[in-house]
Amino acid sequence: MRDNTRDSYDERILRVQLFIQKHLYEKLTAEQLASEANFSPFHFQRIFSGMVGESLMEYIRRLRLDKAAFNLIYQEDSITQIAFDAGYDSHEAFTRAFRVQFGESPQQFRRDRSSFIAQRLLENSKHFNVTLAKPGGKQMEAKIEKMKPMKVAFVRHVGPYNQCEAAWGKLCGNPAVQKELGQNTAYIGICYDDPDITAAGKIRYDACATVSEQFEPVNGIETQVIEGGDYVVLIHHGSYDGLHDKYRWLYGEWLPGSGREAKSAPSLEIYDKHGDMSKPEELITRICVPLK
């Protein structure tokens, strides 16, 4: 496949993936998604499966079940409500699908969630460094900030979070993007998946840089608008290896005691001092979780 054709296919499949993310809990059909990507319905599912590595329905089902697992860990909603939110008409159907993906029932998962997290941690540690939070550490402080919508150029990375260098290189090395970069540019990672739940090879991450309203997608660089609104913000100093502990604290400690709920949207990492300009101990990252 010629490069320009491959870029076109990549862009159209990514368009479908972004549409699925935005409408994850809605009824989605192959015909609707084929139209979104401007593919023939007859060929679309084979193209999607060949490029993504999962069938269309498997991909949607996995994302919904990953989100359900996240809700079982961090929310107090009933299992029946979580099943309905994930698009299942009955508790029994949800339990069967959940058991296939995670090896145990939702009830067992919620009861034994610490065991599952430890197992996923062990599996994902082969790909990147994550550590269990240590009690008695430095007191963490989070605050709620209102953020404005931001238009960004981005490149999608699929795989362990700490292997996203190629996506950043493609983004920042693009001549059209380089013209947009300046002192006021924000460098942002959109983090869709929790590595306590999602297998390392399936994790989705968008490497982003803010751009002007006039910027148009070009040469494999896409654009999207990050929603504005209330975010809880926690500042992390130092190596990226310590980020995941901060996420656990935000979701497991701060949110339950805050009186607020997380919005069904991805978290952000805003790199105020990033790897190109600082030593690991000098890095400053703002972790931002959207709130309802």
Instruction: Write out pLDDT tens, residues 199-209.
Output: 889 999 999 99
What CATH number should be reported for the domain holding residue 113?
A: 1.10.10.60
Q: Span 226-255, mean pLDDT?
A: 88
Shared domain for 151 and 281, answered yes or no, is: yes
Shared domain for 167 and 80, answered yes or no, is: no
Shared domain for 35 and 106, answered yes or no, is: yes
284 assigned to some structural domain:
yes
135 assigned to some structural domain:
no
Shared domain for 99 and 166, answered yes or no, is: no
| Percent of the chain with pLDDT strictly greater than 90 | 52
268 assigned to some structural domain:
yes
Query: Is the predicted pLDDT of residue 169 greater than 60, yes or no?
Result: yes
44 assigned to some structural domain:
yes
Given pLDDT bands bounded at 50, 70 and 90, which one contains residue 1?
Answer: very low
Shared domain for 76 and 166, answered yes or no, is: no
Query: Is the predicted pLDDT of residue 232 greater than 60, yes or no?
Result: yes
Given pLDDT bands bounded at 50, 70 and 90, which one contains residue 160?
Answer: very high
Among 28-32, 137-141, 182-186, 253-257, where is mean pLDDT lowest?
Answer: 137-141
Q: How far apart are the first and last CA of the chain?
A: 44
Q: Span 220-226, mean pLDDT?
A: 94
Q: Span 227-242, mean pLDDT?
A: 91
Given pLDDT bands bounded at 50, 70 and 90, which one contains residue 5?
Answer: low
Amino acid found at 269:
E
Task: List the domain range (segments joined by +) for residue 46.
Answer: 3-124
Shared domain for 227 and 255, answered yes or no, is: yes
Shared domain for 148 and 269, answered yes or no, is: yes
Nearest C-alpha neighbor of 101 from the set 69, 56, 57, 140: 69
Given pLDDT bands bounded at 50, 70 and 90, which one contains residue 258?
Answer: confident
Nearest C-alpha neighbor of 268 from the set 148, 127, 165, 141: 148
Shared domain for 92 and 149, answered yes or no, is: no
Q: How far apart are CA 27 and CA 287, in angstroms?
A: 32
Q: Span 155-176, mean pLDDT?
A: 94
Q: Span 220-248, mean pLDDT?
A: 91
Name the residue with tokens 């269309």.
56
Query: Is the predicted pLDDT of residue 128 greater than 70, yes or no?
Result: no
130 assigned to some structural domain:
no
The mean pLDDT of the chain is 86
Given pLDDT bands bounded at 50, 70 and 90, which one contains residue 58?
Answer: very high
> Please, is 243 exposed, middle or buried when counting C-beta atoms within 10 Å of its C-beta (0-12, 13-18, 19+)?
buried
**Half-sphere exposure of residue 96: CA atoms within 13 angstroms, side-chain side:** 5
Shared domain for 12 and 73, answered yes or no, is: yes
On whether the CB atoms of residues 171 and 153 are closer than 8 A, the answer is yes
Query: Is the predicted pLDDT of residue 91 greater than 70, yes or no?
Result: yes
What is the biggest distance separating any 2 CA atoms in the chain, rounded to whole angstroms? 58
Number of domains in the chain: 2
Last residue of a domain, one of 124, 158, 193: 124
What CATH number should be reported for the domain holding residue 149?
A: 3.20.80.10
On whether the CB atoms of residues 41 and 30 are closer than 8 A, the answer is yes
Query: Is the predicted pLDDT of residue 121 greater than 70, yes or no?
Result: no
Q: Span 68-84, mean pLDDT?
A: 89
Shared domain for 69 and 162, answered yes or no, is: no
Q: Span 214-227, mean pLDDT?
A: 92
258 assigned to some structural domain:
yes
Task: Write down the pLDDT at residue 292.
Answer: 87
Give CA angle at 107 (101, 112), nearest 5°: 85
191 assigned to some structural domain:
yes
Shared domain for 117 and 154, answered yes or no, is: no
Shared domain for 149 and 284, answered yes or no, is: yes
On whether the CB atoms of residues 73 and 50 are closer than 8 A, the answer is no
Given pLDDT bands bounded at 50, 70 and 90, which one contains residue 131?
Answer: very low
Query: Is the predicted pLDDT of residue 129 greater than 90, yes or no?
Result: no
132 assigned to some structural domain:
no
